[in-house]
Structure 1
Amino acid sequence: MADYHEFPAAPEGTPVANFVHLHVHSDYSLLDSCATLDKLVAKAKALNMPALALTDHGNMFGALNFEKLCHVNGINPIVGEEFYVAYGSHTEKNDVPYSHKGEEGDRHAHYFHLILLCENQKGYENMCWLSSRAFCDENALYYGKPRIDFELLEQYHEGIICCSACIQGELPQMLLAGMDAEAEELALKYKNLFGPDHYYIELQDHGIPEQKIVAEKLIALAHKLDIPLVVTNDIHYVEKEDAIAQDALRCIGFKNQLHEKHAKMGGDMDLDNWYFKTEAEMRALFPQCPEAYDNTIKIANMCNLTIKQYSTPELKECLPRFELPAEFRTHGDDYQSDQNDYVKYLVEEGLKKRYKEITPEIRERADYEMNTIFTMGFSGYFLIVWEFINWSKSTYDNVNKRPKPYIPIGPGRGSGAGSLVAYAMTITDIDPFRYGLIFERFLNPERVSMPDFDVDMDFDYRQDIIQHTRDLYGDANVGHIVTFGTLKPKNCIADVGRILGIPLAEVNMLKKCIPDNPKAKLKDAFTEPTEKMPDGGQLIKYKDDPRYQELFDLAFRLEGVKRNTGLHASGMVIGLTPLPDWAPVFKDPKTGEVGVQYTMDIIEPCGLVKFDYLGLKTLSLIRYAEAIINKHRPAGTPEFITANVSETDEATFDLFDRGDSVAVFQFESPGMQKILRECKPRCIEELVALNALFRPGPLAYIPKYIEGKWHPEKIEYPDPALKDLLKETYGIMVYQEQVMKVAQIISGFSLGGADMLRRAMGKKKLDVLMKKKEEFIAGAVKNGHTEEHAGEIFEIMIPFAGYGFNKSHAAAYSVLAYRTGWLKAHYPAEFMAANLTNEITSTDGLPFYIEEARKMGVPVDAPDVNRSDVIFDVVDGRIVFGLKGIKGMGESAAAAIVAEREKNGPYKDFMDFIKRCCGLVEKDEDGREKTLVNKKAIEVLIKTGAFDHLKEKDGTTLNRPTLLANMEAALDYVSSYLEDQKKGQGDLFGELEEEEKNFSDFQFKKIPDIPNMEQLNMEKECIGCYVSGHPLDSYRKAIDHAVTLKASNINRIAEESKAEKAALEASGAKSWQMRDAGKSYIALGMVNGIHEIVTKKGARMAFAKLNDMDGQIDLTFFPKTWETMKPLLQDGEVYAFRGKVDGSRDTPSLIVDAIEDVEKMELHAAQSVHIRLDTNFTSEGAISSLRDFLFDKMGKCSVYFHIDTGNNPYVVKANDQISISADDQTLKSLKEINFVREVWTE
């Protein structure tokens, strides 16, 4: 739930204002106001104004937060909206034919403005519908603006007060256009609709000449028709000095340079008048109309809105209802009892399938959970989640009555996996008994809150499941949840820098000085580093730089302002009735999807329960792998299903032991690989623990966990009574559930009470914590513990309550991780093909996984029209590139090529392909035919080598330049034939044999082949990476044995570098020590994008990109280095660089110190590292530390130990799992180990 600040009251003695602002925009008027709700409400309170309105442009995004914030601060909230009104019907796209002045300088506006204010709950409900229909009715959106019309107002006007709006209102526009009679008619029309006390003519004066002209006419018209007047200020920012920030914000929105005339709010007019004025400033505008100011108070007194909110017990009545089977509809109107019966039935049936024997423990737990769920009234929630999961797993669509594909659902996510009821109903697939999971962590009977199942589903089918939910409950009842992008520090610097015209290189340099911490504020970059923000303070050196003063000033003013809308990645709401009955909705401009206008943290009390539909690519990966495995399985063998694999497989745990976990879910990072090698897990429970520990905070306990595994005698328990609980994690409290159990065992807490204690510890609120501590100690003393001992245990629990991870989530995700590890261990080619399909459109992911597959010994072949599937496939143990992954191909074209091949056999040659594919078409929504395999598709197929293996009649193959040169002629040749066939002119070439002869007789003009490098570059252009080869293939020896820095490990190295420098700084190191800190690394690759800049001091330096086998590394050349290297470097050439990694910026980079001789690296590349050990080398601790060191220096060199034992020295080759790098730094570190006598390479 959102926090609402209480602001300081007005200075003592400040009289209550006799005026309130009724035309107010916040930053929810996206990129059109820099006034946040906090600033607006604080200002109103400081001026002692009794009420305040919010009238954002075309939306109610801020309405609920505004209403709550006002109530907290003792201000009467007037919820409103400045609507866009169509000329004529809102479902027709008409411009205003007579408008005097359009927005942004147009001569004709696209719509008018109108202010509507909620008088009461009924008015709020009507406004929700107006706002929603403005977005969602057909054609209502015009030039991106949601519109209403008078007909809608007739339908939804009750409980609403209307004001004629600013100069863009319909009434002022008519008067400015000289349409006085029509204006009079319009004013009467609105007066008659809303009533004499609910329609007001609005006066404004911001210094715009037209406003002064129209004001006199508006006053006269109001007096003539007996319509009350009201004075407003069109507020877009709070303080007068914020005018420049408002101008800048609009420039960001319009992508203009600052101070351009057309970027200003009204063109040439003074921008300084659109702020939150005092009553005195407002009354000075229209002194001849004192009643217009008094009417603002009258309206405020009429408005009395507290938006209806639902408590958690009431929310169960707001849940949608689906049709229960007839045999369970036995309680008349008591739908809750019917739902309970159905849940009980599903649970009992599920328990029989899940367990061979329902033990008393299982029976007791199931009954307890069901009783809790029924008592709290949450059966409906469980059934809704069960239904869409059950539908997903089914192969039949029971709503639309047609077959459907099986859609994978994750085994569980979050605390829901702790429920036995959920396991029995197949909502989850994790046995809570096996993993010791606690129901109360999910649903606590002592703290009433809605249950919250997070459901992972196949990423590719998420929209299908959402569509099913719409089909079942009604399209209008289902929607997404809005999110807001804000101007964060880096965005501020970038956006403001652009509108000020500051060079991009300088802007990027400043951006990189902002701390990477997601909680960082702009001020942190100007504040000395702290423990929480160790990379702060990097902009201090530019604080007084005159070039950036305006940029910094504006960035500070705009930081945090809302910039754009989005849709929550997983959250959906399902209403009992259409969503606008509960909250306003909008249409997302990017996707066209409908979502509620309120964010996830505040939507539920509106009566809309959130359901999480989380698309997980790992589930797609497993589905892809299963499809490939089953496609090629021998006839008669059962279908392979990953969920059925053994959970005690030796080969899988061997893979984890080796740290061979690249692409394995949750265990793929280099840091996790290192920990796997140290811990060597042999059961899923150990994977669960490592998954939970590998996070900021508990990461520090991993060494102790590993020590406990290998040295059980060193395990320490806080109390003997906790041994059974903590033995699985070697004495450490790893999980939140363990913290809860400690409270139960030591102090007799119920698990519900223990969950509340855990939450209190996590929030670290001192007053609450002290109260809980007293309760804990009292319970412990009752159980025979001393106060002192109980206090010690309580203090031990506190950090773990904050750090501890949800075991239910860790268990579910570790099971999924194990399954991906099993696939990698047993079906490596299929597993990597599935990974590549998952990354089929990613220019970063594809090269990484292609190289990883090759490291695993799995070749990846270029596209081939006779071997490729739509997605990546495995043929004879080799991965074949999927046609869908070629840029310019398209999924429909790829599918058509594969379908034609499967129907009529392999393509014989290029002309056969053209003849069979260039006539393939599909029909669009309007029934028009569209060619699938067009000229562009054939061109990219040629460039990627998809025809390289096709042989002509004479047994030769045609090279790519020849096919490209002849492509158009071949297409014309075939098209002519197909056109004649279409016209019914018969067979142009006679009989079939003659036809084939003529096609094969097409004369290709032969073109010489191109160099391999050009061919590879063609591939990269069309695919985004190299496939059939790599420009660095000839350097593999140097890469394998000398390179220590790659795109795949630079992030880890950067983090280590930052940690090392932070430790040095904390120890008081000198500046030269800081500068020289860090290891030196070697990177090798192709240099591209060399970019030279001039520094503040006039020196030249440069940046570039280094493309290696795994991806891309940023290079930085400081002035001294650049001076010597500039003549040596050329774009597109291969170089090896030595330098240090800088992890202080957004993207880590290599600070280049020197160029290495690649040929010498190749020549002297070591194959093995030899270590001569001291004869007294007997300590187990020494062995352990050496092993850890070697595992941390993974490379390609085998390791040999030379041990002297008097007359019989002998050599031992290290385990095959140990292969290390032979770089200078590694060798130097080895030599410094006290029991290592000698180190050399061979």
Structure 2
Amino acid sequence: MSSQFVHLRLHSEYSLVDGLVRIKPLAAKVAEIGMPAIALTDFNNFFGLVKFYKAAQNAGVKPIVGADVLVLDDSSEGLLTQLVLLVMDNQGYKNLTLLISKAYQEGQKQGVPTIRTSWLETFNEGLIVLSGGRLGEIGNALVSGRTHDAQNTLKKLMRVFPNRCYLELQRTGRVDEEDYLHAAVDLAMALDCPVVATNDVRFIGQEEYEAHEARVCIHEGRSLDDPRRERRFSDQQYLRSSDEMVALFEDIPEAIENTVEIAKRCNLDLRLGEYFLPDYPIPSGKTIDEFLVEISNSGLDERLGQLFDQQDPTFPEHQQLYRERLAFELKIIIEMGFPGYFLIVMDFIGWAKANDIPVGPGRGSGAGSLVAYALKITDLDPIEYDLLFERFLNPERVSMPDFDIDFCMEGRDRVIAYVAEQYGRDAVSQIVTFGTMAAKAVVRDVARVQGKSYGLADKLSKLIPFEVGMTLEKAVEQEDDLSQFLAADDEAAEIWSMALQLEGVSRNCGKHAGGVVIAPTRITDFSPIYCDENGTGVVSQFDKNDVEEAGLVKFDFLGLRTLTIIDWALKMINVTRLDNAEDPLILEKIPLDDSATYEMMQRGETTAVFQLESRGMKELIRKLGPDRFEDIVALVALFRPGPLQSGMVDDFINRKKGRAEVSYPHPQYQHECLKPALEPTYGVILYQEQVMQIAQEMGGYTLGGADLLRRAMGKKNAQEMAKQRDLFVQGAIGKGFAEHLASNIFDLMEKFAGYG
């Protein structure tokens, strides 16, 4: 390691209480200034760890993982002091994960997670400790003139962390810092303890100090000019270069040299991108693969008996089609190592149904799996509706399957409790999610901490359009009134300038709406946990993306009020039917071709019908006049900004009503081979499955390759799209299609993808 200095103490935005450092810009800046390594030591959490680890490695920088922790001495009278713990190896990572988790589960003081000094005696292996500087227990004692206490504390730390304890020095221009530093150097010499320099970084550039102060004030609910506010930070806590740090500590060069030595000692190899499924109990004498094949075939037999008349001469033909599709799916599921995933989902959905908890019929890409249909995970026949398995599980792109499962709102928590009981409460948790400083809110927050008037904040906030994904930059571009107001009003411009620096920063954490992870062992073997002060509401500290990177499998338990309402309605109806000696109404047996229902819909009488109840949707229903189930499916796909604004909706209606020619897909560019895929939608490309079918039929793609094309179109990456266009056109030419036809068909598919 050639650099003279490495930053070993740094808070990112994920500290939540302070810190303005964003992960990707940090990694880029560290690489730019030639520093070979960087540590992330957020306040008692690993919220940003996976993102940091990946970003640093991608930038060619060595990531050092750690945490700033608050420590409560078991024998003290409640004084909280700071320590920095850095991970040396995998054992250290496990120990710090456990310490952070215990701090939340057992050590919270008024909502603040704390670590007991006695825990460090047990969980210290693989960890390096920095004393915490002026705010550590040693620093507190030295500044108070209690040198003897400082000596005892340092001796204890050196005993608990043999050859892994460093006395931390800082020069950031804060109160008592220099007095502490001189006393600490004397103490280090007296006890032969190495010293190390840190800059206690909170922001990347020095110019971000004011924005960081505002961030702290927003968290604390104070204003910047509040005389009672504690000034805990200085404008020196930026990401100094090696040269700056060397100059700052030229009188104590060993404090600089030791940063590099510590960086060399920290060698965590984090295993990311592997999957670890919990064990599903299977009958003895069988492998998990054999068991999945057996119950899938058995489940399909039951489904086929319900779908078709087995005496019909065409039954063997239908049976062969379904058997071949099932065998194909099972082969992929087994090759990708996911039998356990399907069995676990089957188990908790089966339990929910057996316990009268309404479960949705299936939605999202998971409805494209015949195995899921056979196992009663879903209740939709994917073959009948032309749903493709490769959209769910693609052998050409290895990623975890992900079922979106809807449960009745009243029963969802019972299902999660069952899963926790089944696999162990220590192995099941929900997933953290982060609230960020969004455009409208950050303007109001900044105005408040700057002491600006409520009226000004309100006016400025209301000039920002109310749209999902709206940013301050977009708002200025779109709204002339806003840009003119900012140009004319200095106070508004001052708010805006600081809001731009804070926009998008993580401000708090909560619980993901539906995500649940089930670990093969304890959750803390994979991720630290966060919880309420009373130990309830356990969530993983990694978000829904990072938790999968860490090896845990995510299951979506979504609460849907519509299912609850349908359940209530069925129960009320069946009470009446029972009184009238009629058979009970069974939801699954309600016909999908009931003419009276379609007549009601055509009149727009869809109030309180899931996804068909808005005023705009009712207008579209009246225009379209649905008379078959496929039209209802099409309505939901059409009622989006892209199709509504592009003319696609009018084209679809005109084709359905016979007012326009049905072509596959365009009057000038069409081919009969596309008719089977496009006929259900009158030749209009409406579904992602149709894009995949066209890619297969005309471009010669496998369905796995077609799924990659679909994803590329969704991401709108120009470079990848150019590559896919060439693949499609060359594949089509190879199949005998004209180049101009293939190119124009690709344009139409790309146009569809642009509707989002």
- Which TM-score tier does this pair reach, normalised by the shorter chain? over 0.9
User: Does the 8 Å contact 2:105/2:535 carry over to 1?
Assistant: no
Deviation at 1:252, TM superposition (A): 1.0
Q: Could you say what secondary structure the match of 2:41 adopts?
A: strand
The aligned amino acid for 1:710 is K
User: Does the 8 Å contact 2:295/2:375 carry over to 1?
Assistant: no
Q: For residues 324 and 293 of structure 2, what CA distance do their matches in structure 1 show? A: 17
Q: Could you say what secondary structure the match of 1:262 adopts?
A: coil
User: Does the 8 Å contact 1:588/1:595 carry over to 2?
Assistant: no
The question of 1:43 aligning with 2:29 is answered: yes
Q: Tell me which residue corresponds to 1:520.
A: 470
User: Does the 8 Å contact 2:72/2:81 carry over to 1?
Assistant: yes
Q: For residues 689 and 95 of structure 1, what CA distance do their matches in structure 2 show? A: 67
Q: Tell me which residue corresponds to 2:151.
A: 184
Q: Could you say what secondary structure the match of 1:272 adopts?
A: coil
- CA 1:384 to 1:119, structure 2 compared with 1: closer, same or farther past 3 Å? same
1:978-993 matches, within 5 Å, as none
Residue in structure 2 matching 1:329, options 284, 292, 296: 284
Q: Tell me which residue corresponds to 1:164.
A: 131
Q: Could you say what secondary structure the match of 1:143 adopts?
A: coil
Q: Could you say what secondary structure the match of 1:483 adopts?
A: strand
Q: Tell me which residue corresponds to 1:540.
A: 484
1:390-789 matches, within 5 Å, as 390-395=350-355, 406-527=356-477, 529=478, 535=479, 538-588=482-532, 592-635=536-579, 636-699=581-644, 700-711=647-658, 714-717=661-664, 718-789=670-741
Residues 8-49 of structure 1 show CA distances to partners (whole Å, capped at 9, x for unaligned) of: xxxxxxx96411111111111114122222343333233222
- CA 1:544 to 1:275, structure 2 compared with 1: closer, same or farther past 3 Å? farther
The aligned amino acid for 1:170 is E
The question of 1:143 aligning with 2:110 is answered: yes
Q: For residues 62 and 539 of structure 1, what CA distance do their matches in structure 2 show? A: 35
Q: Could you say what secondary structure the match of 1:482 adopts?
A: strand
Residues 1177-1204 of structure 1 show CA distances to partners (whole Å, capped at 9, x for unaligned) of: xxxxxxxxxxxxxxxxxxxxxxxxxxxx
The question of 1:132 aligning with 2:101 is answered: yes
Deviation at 1:544, TM superposition (A): 4.0
1:862-901 matches, within 5 Å, as none
- CA 1:411 to 1:290, structure 2 compared with 1: closer, same or farther past 3 Å? same
Q: For residues 537 and 577 of structure 1, what CA distance do their matches in structure 2 show? A: 57
User: Does the 8 Å contact 1:251/1:257 carry over to 2?
Assistant: yes
Q: For residues 51 and 604 of structure 2, what CA distance do their matches in structure 1 show? A: 48
Q: For residues 120 and 297 of structure 2, what CA distance do their matches in structure 1 show? A: 48
- CA 1:769 to 1:524, structure 2 compared with 1: closer, same or farther past 3 Å? closer
Residues 340-394 of structure 1 show CA distances to partners (whole Å, capped at 9, x for unaligned) of: 4444444445544555446221222222222222222211110011111000000
Q: Could you say what secondary structure the match of 2:66 adopts?
A: strand
User: Does the 8 Å contact 1:416/1:442 carry over to 2?
Assistant: yes
Q: Tell me which residue corresponds to 1:53.
A: 39
1:89-104 matches, within 5 Å, as 95-96=77-78
The question of 1:253 aligning with 2:219 is answered: yes
The question of 1:367 aligning with 2:327 is answered: yes
Residues 966-1002 of structure 1 show CA distances to partners (whole Å, capped at 9, x for unaligned) of: xxxxxxxxxxxxxxxxxxxxxxxxxxxxxxxxxxxxx
Q: Tell me which residue corresponds to 2:314.
A: none
Q: For residues 116 and 536 of structure 1, what CA distance do their matches in structure 2 show? A: 51
Q: For residues 425 and 172 of structure 2, what CA distance do their matches in structure 1 show? A: 44
User: Does the 8 Å contact 2:288/2:339 carry over to 1?
Assistant: no
Deviation at 1:419, TM superposition (A): 1.2
The question of 1:214 aligning with 2:180 is answered: yes
Residues 257-286 of structure 1 show CA distances to partners (whole Å, capped at 9, x for unaligned) of: 2222333433xxx73222222334434444
- CA 1:687 to 1:121, structure 2 compared with 1: closer, same or farther past 3 Å? same
- CA 1:536 to 1:480, structure 2 compared with 1: closer, same or farther past 3 Å? farther
- CA 1:67 to 1:136, structure 2 compared with 1: closer, same or farther past 3 Å? same
Residue in structure 2 matching 1:241, options 207, 218, 227: 207
The aligned amino acid for 2:357 is I
1:965-1004 matches, within 5 Å, as none
- CA 1:354 to 1:181, structure 2 compared with 1: closer, same or farther past 3 Å? farther
User: Does the 8 Å contact 1:329/1:338 carry over to 2?
Assistant: no
140-149 or 179-188: which moved more?
Answer: 179-188
Q: Could you say what secondary structure the match of 2:510 adopts?
A: strand
The aligned amino acid for 1:445 is P
Q: For residues 303 and 673 of structure 2, what CA distance do their matches in structure 1 show? A: 35
Q: With the length of structure 1 as denominator, give the TM-score of the two structures.
A: 0.58
Residues 184-221 of structure 1 show CA distances to partners (whole Å, capped at 9, x for unaligned) of: 2221222122222x110111233334222222221111
Deviation at 1:772, TM superposition (A): 2.6
Q: Tell me which residue corresponds to 1:3.
A: none
Q: For residues 157 and 590 of structure 1, what CA distance do their matches in structure 2 show? A: 26
Q: Could you say what secondary structure the match of 2:520 adopts?
A: coil
Q: Which runs of 5+ in 2 are unaligned?
A: 311-317, 665-669
> Identity over aligned residues, as a percent?
39
The aligned amino acid for 2:93 is Y
Q: Could you say what secondary structure the match of 1:435 adopts?
A: coil
Q: For residues 142 and 436 of structure 2, what CA distance do their matches in structure 1 show? A: 39
Q: Tell me which residue corresponds to 1:116.
A: 85
291-300 or 186-195: which moved more?
Answer: 186-195
- CA 1:364 to 1:461, structure 2 compared with 1: closer, same or farther past 3 Å? same
Q: For residues 110 and 5 of structure 2, what CA distance do their matches in structure 1 show? A: 36
Q: For residues 323 and 570 of structure 1, what CA distance do their matches in structure 2 show? A: 25
1:823-834 matches, within 5 Å, as none
Q: For residues 741 and 37 of structure 2, what CA distance do their matches in structure 1 show? A: 56
1:380-391 matches, within 5 Å, as 380-391=340-351
Residues 280-326 of structure 1 show CA distances to partners (whole Å, capped at 9, x for unaligned) of: 44344444321111101111111122311134xxx2xx1111322xx
The aligned amino acid for 1:630 is N
Deviation at 1:471, TM superposition (A): 0.5
Q: Tell me which residue corresponds to 1:298.
A: 261
Q: Tell me which residue corresponds to 1:66.
A: 52
The aligned amino acid for 2:499 is A
Q: Could you say what secondary structure the match of 2:482 adopts?
A: coil
Larger helix fraction of residues = 2
- CA 1:144 to 1:188, structure 2 compared with 1: closer, same or farther past 3 Å? same
Q: For residues 127 and 354 of structure 1, what CA distance do their matches in structure 2 show? A: 55
Deviation at 1:506, TM superposition (A): 2.2
Residue in structure 1 matching 2:744, options 792, 810, 815: 792
User: Does the 8 Å contact 2:14/2:506 carry over to 1?
Assistant: yes
The aligned amino acid for 1:211 is E
User: Does the 8 Å contact 2:128/2:165 carry over to 1?
Assistant: yes
Residues 1049-1102 of structure 1 show CA distances to partners (whole Å, capped at 9, x for unaligned) of: xxxxxxxxxxxxxxxxxxxxxxxxxxxxxxxxxxxxxxxxxxxxxxxxxxxxxx
Deviation at 1:224, TM superposition (A): 1.2
- CA 1:802 to 1:347, structure 2 compared with 1: closer, same or farther past 3 Å? farther
- CA 1:335 to 1:178, structure 2 compared with 1: closer, same or farther past 3 Å? farther
Q: For residues 277 and 725 of structure 1, what CA distance do their matches in structure 2 show? A: 60
Q: With the length of structure 2 as denominator, give the TM-score of the two structures.
A: 0.93
The question of 1:232 aligning with 2:198 is answered: yes
The aligned amino acid for 1:430 is L
Q: For residues 346 and 142 of structure 1, what CA distance do their matches in structure 2 show? A: 53
Q: Could you say what secondary structure the match of 2:433 adopts?
A: strand
Q: Could you say what secondary structure the match of 1:772 adopts?
A: helix
Q: For residues 37 and 601 of structure 1, what CA distance do their matches in structure 2 show? A: 15
